Amino acid sequence: MTDVRQPAAGAGHATASRVRRGALPLALAAAAAGAATLLVVRSPYTPLSYGFCPSVLFLGVSCPGCGGLRATHSLLTGDLAAAWQANPLWTVAAPLLVVAWGVWTVRRLRGRPPVSAPTWPAWLVLVVVVGFAVLRNVPALVPYLGPAPLP
Amino acid sequence: MSSPNEPRDPGAPDEQPGTGPGSPDSPSQPSGPDVPPYPAGTGPDTPAAPGYGQPPAYGQGQPPAYGQGQPPAYGQGQPPAYGQGQPPAYGQGQPPTYGEQPTYGQPAYGQAPGYGAPQSTARNSLGVWSLVLGILSIVLCCLVVGIVPGAIGVWLGFKGRSAAARGEASNGGMALAGIILGIVGILASLYMIISLSIGLAEYGGLDGFLQYVEDEVERQQLQAP
């Protein structure tokens, strides 16, 4: 699992290793599909349908993930505006994550060597998420970045 | 193997570029970074071996291996070995070259600029991503959300550790920090889930807690002036 650089020895061996390499991406996709199905069937817009955010309850602040379930539900049902009002960061990040999963899966299935990616995207993600966490708790920005109140 | 010819043949590679018809430059330019690290005898340059192999000692397949491994180290070590004609010096330099070949099976690694360096930074992104996801798993530790970046961060952290052990990354400590923070984030998420479950059980489940919240709101509204 850790070594994805499997040389293709033969046709049968290559197919077997390809199945083995594709197990992890497929498992993640299955888990995500199950969660998505649950979110579509059981709407998070129903109050307390999935509990409540403990950071709001205990700390009184909205964490960067607050509204993520509602945003996912709205994205899956095609309501982009509602998703943006629930969690704008997740509305942008979720499609990017899907694209990243696709690239990772294709590279893994083809047995490509790991890329030597630059390090600045990771720091950018950290700055964006932490900055989003701070900004969405600024009272003046709550209507724009904070999770919209339940209807 | 006509090894006695090797020490007596020091000038051959230097004269060869002018006369050799095949690929004469590859043995005489050990510093070329574009030379792919084929194991001797398996690369595409092997058919050219008879071409430039007029001297029997020269066509043994060693010059291609000579031009690959660790160009700076070899370039420094070459003049005394060749000029003085010491076979032990030549023989000492070569086994590490062959020994490192299997670990760098991909040409992409052989062409990396830090190939001869003890620690490359080619895969440092693993450790950085591990650290960032470990931090985010703690930031996002409410309910289940923190488990996902925590698990990915721990996984990337172990990959970063192994990459650092192979010399492909220089931030093994950062990857270790990512592993630790990711585990902390996962534990914090689990603690949130368990404590909330216990707390909800005291109110008779979610519906009981909802009823309690409504009653509490009504009571405070009644008390309000």
C-beta separation of B81 from B89 below 8 A = yes
Distance CA A35, CA B137 (A): 19
Q: Are residues B38 and B71 in the same domain?
A: yes
- Enclosing H/E stretch for A88: helix A88-110
Contact B45, B38 (CB under 8 A): yes
* Same domain? B15 vs B72: yes
> In the predicted model, is pLDDT for residue A4 greater than 90?
no
Which has more confidence, B80 or A80?
A80
Residues B213 and B128 in one domain: yes
Predicted local distance difference test score (pLDDT) of residue A12: 59
B22 occurs within a structural domain: yes
B133 and B200 both lie in a single domain: yes
Tell me if B118 is assigned to some domain: no
Average pLDDT on A52-71 reads: 79
Among B105, B138, B155, identify where a domain stops. Answer: B105
Question: Looking at the structure, do residues B63 and B133 belong to the same domain, yes or no?
Answer: no
Q: Kind and range of the H or E element at A91?
A: helix A88-110
Residues B16 and B98 grouped into a single domain:
yes
Query: Is A99 a residue whose pLDDT tops 70?
Result: yes
CB atoms within 10 A of CB B191: 11
| Closest C-alpha among B149, B157, B152, B196 to residue A130 | B149
How confident is the model at residue A150, as a pLDDT?
A: 63
Q: Given a cut of 70, is residue A42 above it in pLDDT?
A: yes
For residue A93, the 8-state DSSP code is: H
**Domain check: are B172 and B135 in the same one?**
yes
- Spatial separation of the C-alpha atoms in residues A98 and B23, rounded to whole Å: 47
Residue A136: band (very low, low, confident or very high) from pLDDT cuts 50, 70, 90:
confident
Yes or no, beta carbons of A129 and B196 under 8 Å apart: no
Supply the mean pLDDT for chain A.
81
Q: What single-letter amino acid sits at B26?
A: S
Of A2, A54, A129, the CB nearest to B142: A54
pLDDT score for B127: 86
Bridge partners (DSSP) of residue A51 are: A49
Q: Give the residue from B73, B105, B137 where a domain finishes.
A: B105
What residues contact B183, with CB distance under 8 A and at least 6 apart? B150, B154
B190 lies in a domain?
yes
Name the stretches of chain B with pLDDT < 50: 1-117
How confident is the model over A79-86, as a mean pLDDT?
Answer: 88
Q: How high is the pLDDT of residue B8?
A: 45
User: Are the CB atoms for B206 and A51 separated by under 8 Å?
Assistant: yes
Pair of tokens at residue A105: 């899966």
pLDDT for the residue numbered B63: 42
Size of interface A-B (CB pairs under 8 A): 66
Q: Are B63 and B93 in contact (CB under 8 A)?
A: no
Point out the least confidently predicted range of A21-25, A109-113, B111-115, B177-181: B111-115
Interface of B with A (CB under 8 A): 105-106, 108-109, 112, 122-125, 128-129, 131-132, 135-136, 139-140, 142-143, 145, 158-159, 162, 192, 196, 200, 206, 209-210
Is there a single domain that holds both residue B183 and residue B151?
yes
Residues of B in contact with A118 (CB under 8 A): 125
Q: Based on the domain organization, do B11 and B58 belong to the same domain?
A: yes
As a whole number, mean pLDDT of residues A5-9 equals 46
- Provide the b/e sequence for A123-148 (b: ≥16 CB within 10 Å): eebbeebeebbebbbeeeeeeebbbe
Nearest CA in chain A to B158: A2
Does B113 fall in a domain?
A: no
Residue B117 lies in a domain: no
Q: Are residues B131 and B188 in the same domain?
A: yes
Identify whether residues B160 and B100 lie together within a single domain: no
- Secondary structure, 3-state, chain B: CCHHHCCCCCCHHHHHHHHCCCCCHHHHCCCCCCCCCCCCCCCCCHHHHHHHCCCCCHHHCHHHHHCCCCHHHHHHHHHHHHHHCCHHHHHHHHHHHHHCCHHHCCHHHHCCCCCCCCCCCCCHHHHHHHHHHHHHHHHCCCCCCCHHHHHHHHHHHHHHHHHHHCCCCCCHHHHHHHHHHHHHHHHHHHHHHHHHHHHHHHCCHHHHHHHHHHHHHHHHHHHCC
Among A50, A123, A133, beta carbon nearest to B132 = A123
Domain count, chain B: 2
Strand partners, A49: A51
CB contact (8 A) between residue B132 and residue A68: no
Q: Cβ contact (<8 Å) for A53 and B143?
A: yes
Residues B11 and B101 grouped into a single domain: yes
**Residue B200 is assigned to a structural domain of this protein:** yes
- Alpha-carbon distance A79 to nearest alpha carbon in chain B (angstroms): 22
**Residue B215 lies inside a defined structural domain of this protein:** yes
Q: Residue A134's closest chain B neighbor by CA?
A: B139
Which segment of A115-119, A125-129, B9-13 scores lowest on mean pLDDT? B9-13
Which residue segment(s) compose the domain that B128 sits in? Answer: 124-223
- Cα–Cα distance measured from residue A20 to residue A16, given in angstroms and rounded to the nearest whole number: 6
pTM over 0.80: no
Q: Distance between the two ends of chain B, CA-based, in angstroms?
A: 104
Q: How many CB atoms lie within 10 A of CB B50?
A: 10
Mean pLDDT, residues A46-68 taken together: 76
Higher-confidence residue of A115 and B137: namely: B137
The tokens describing B128, both together, are 């950085």
Residue A136: name the closest of A97, A102, A90 by CA: A90
Highest mean pLDDT among A61-65, A81-85, B89-93, B138-142: A81-85
In a domain, B111, yes or no: no
pLDDT of residue B196: 78
Question: Could you report the predicted ipTM of this complex, rounded to two decimals?
Answer: 0.75
The answer to whether the CB atoms of A122 and B122 lie below 8 A apart is no
